[in-house]
Amino acid sequence: MAHVCSAVPTEPKLAKGLFVQPHIFTGVTNASQIAREEIFGPVCCVIRWTDYEEVIADANDSEYGLAASVWTSNLQRAMDAVTRLEAGFVQVNQNLVVQPNLSYGGVKASGLGKEASLESMLEHFTHKKTIMINMA
């Protein structure tokens, strides 16, 4: 079921604007096409779950692995989930964006290598040269 939110502006000068109403889909499963493919628009799916082991497996059942988040007040569950989620950036009780000083980059089809952080400068924009000077 699709819940269509907000409203497209009515001003005449915006009549040809590329306004897309946010869509929240419910009643979908992780196997649904909208839960598999990246849409890159204001579309999300809300998936109902009951079994913890199944939801972790479903969360990881994706070709991508960029980010993930866990929302709970149970520290043990949070610690378990963050170690099992297959993603480059995993957060508990927040959804921050990329930060300049934190290593950022995905696993699986989400990419190769890291951006941001000192690591990105050292590992991705330099070559290491080994030099030996025989003084004997």
Q: Which residues between 26 and 65 bind another protein (CB under 8 A)? A: 26, 30, 35-50, 55-56, 58-59, 62-65
| Residue 75 binds another protein, judged by CB under 8 A | no
Nearer Cβ to another protein (83/128):
128
Nearer Cβ to another protein (18/83):
18
Which helix or strand (DSSP H or E) is residue 33 part of?
helix 33-36
Minimal distance in Å, beta carbon 36 to another protein?
Answer: 7
Instruction: Kindly list the distances between the CA atom of residue 68 and the CA atoms of 33, 64, 106, 110, in Å, as whole numbers in the listed order.
Output: 19, 11, 10, 12
Cβ(30)–Cβ(58) below 8 Å? yes
- From CA 6, how far away is CA 33, in angstroms rounded? 24
Binding mask 95-114 for another protein (x = CB under 8 A): x-xx-xx--xxx--xxxxxx
